[in-house]
Amino acid sequence: MMTSGGGGNGTAEVDGVGDLKVATGSDGKVGSGAYMVNWNGETIPVEKAYKGLEAGMAQKVWEHTMSAFEVIEKGGVFTD
C-alpha cells in the first residue's frame, strides 16, 4: 500500500518496505512497468517529461519520417 504524499521526483513510498520507493510509470501510475529515466537512471516525473511538447508534434514527426523515406526510395542517404 502506498503512503500519501509520494516521494517527489517520480517515485512513491511503499508501506512496509523500508526506504524503498516505487517509480511512477510513463502513464502516471505508480509501478506500472514503463518508466521514463534521465541519463543517469533517475526517474523523470511525467509532468516534466511532457512539458513543452507542442501541439502538432505528431504531424512534424510524420512529415520528417516521410521525407526520410522519399530520400531513401530515390537511392539517397537521409542526413537531416
pLDDT in tens, 18-63: 777 777 787 878 888 777 788 888 877 777 767 667 777 888 889 9
Please indicate, yes or no, if residue 49 is contained in any of the structural domains.
yes
Q: Residues 64, 55: contact at Cβ < 8 Å?
A: no
Please indicate, yes or no, if residue 43 is contained in any of the structural domains.
yes
This prediction has a pTM of: 0.39
Domain total of the chain: 1
CA dist., res. 52 & res. 55, Å (int): 9
- Percent of the chain having pLDDT more than 90? 21
Sign of CA dihedral 8, 14, 18, 21: negative
Average pLDDT over all residues of the chain: 76
Please indicate, yes or no, if residue 2 is contained in any of the structural domains.
no
Please indicate, yes or no, if residue 80 is contained in any of the structural domains.
no
Please indicate, yes or no, if residue 5 is contained in any of the structural domains.
no
Query: Whole domain around residue 38: which residue ranges?
Result: 11-73
pLDDT in tens, 54-72: 777 888 889 999 999 999 9
Whether residue 3 is predicted with pLDDT greater than 70 in this model: the reply is: no
Please indicate, yes or no, if residue 55 is contained in any of the structural domains.
yes
What burial class does residue 69 get, using C-beta atoms within 10 Å of its C-beta: 0-12 exposed, 13-18 middle, 19+ buried?
exposed
